[in-house]
Homo-oligomer: A and B are copies of this chain.
Amino acid sequence: MTFTPRTPRVVAARRLQRRRDRDQSGRFLAEGPQAVRSALAAGVVLELFGTEAALTRHADLASQAPVVSPVTDDGLAALAETVQPQGLVAVCEQLDVPLAEALAKAPRLVAVAVEIRDPGNAGTILRTADAAGAGAVIFAGDAVDPYNGKCVRASAGSLFHVDVVRAPLPVVDELRDYGLQVLATTGHGDAGLDELDDDGSLARPTAWLFGSEAHGLPEDLLEAADKRVRIPIYGGAESLNLAAAAAVCLYASARALR
């Protein structure tokens, strides 16, 4: 039987587009073959919805899902949030872990997204942190839901590769307790990124704090950090955008930690 937008299972899954329903159920949606493949590898797929064409095209993915539910094109469109959903949407279990559990694995590189509200930025930080070899990405304070569809898509699978943590705002002491130096990014930092690179500081296990583009980092986190770091600006720009700043800092660490 092929499900339609009115089939109760499809109606129930579609509710996961809303944060309230994600929070209550502990589930979320991942769409497209790339995200579904990563979700299957992480072992968090509960049910895979797909059009007949997509399930045939991606038979390798369908064979790994615990439950496969064929849907009509309309049914798929109801579940998907993109215009070209590529035929697959998986219902997944949320997979974030407590801060202590992530830090107990002794990651050498950690990204902390502080009060970041934009889901596209949050997803990009997940993707960039994963690429740079970070073991954990922490969403601190009143941040966007990491399971927001736009965040999941922008992460391009990385949500399933790193340890995702949701934590209250004061995280610095705990990061330091686990042996990480805490570097806060700010346009008014007293330490230049290149100087930290030159003097070997970046070769130590590091947690980077990134604030929102609109507000930056809260004052108490800036003060609690070990260093306030300024990315050098060589031209006329006032600053970098969040995704670019995170890429520059995380890759400077990745290179030093090789």
Contacts and interface: CB of A to CB of B under 8 A. Distances in A.
Contact of A156 (B128, B238, B252, B258): B238
Contacts of A247: 240, 243-245, 247-248
A130 interface: yes
Interface string A225-258: 0000001111111111101111110011011001
B161 A235 contact: yes
Interface stretch (A25-33, A59-67, A131-139, A215-223): A131-139
Interface in A184-237: 194, 197, 231-237
A236 B158 contact: yes
Contacts of A231: 131, 251
A132 to B, nearest CB: 6
Interface residues of A, number: 41
A133 B236 CA distance: 8
B127 A241 contact: yes
Interface in A123-168: 124, 127-134, 154, 156-158, 161-162
Q: Which of A233, A239, A243 has the most chain B CB atoms closer than 10 A to its own CB?
A: A243
A127 B197 contact: no
A227 to B, nearest CB: 18
Contact of A197 (B158, B194, B246, B255): B255
A130 B237 contact: yes
A241 B130 contact: no
B248 A251 contact: yes
Contacts of A131: 231, 233-235, 237, 239-240, 244
Given A127-B241, A243-B247, A248-B248, 5 more contacts: A131-B237, A194-B258, A243-B244, A244-B244, A244-B247
Interface of A: 34, 38, 124, 127-134, 154, 156-158, 161-162, 194, 197, 231-241, 243-248, 251-252, 254-255, 258
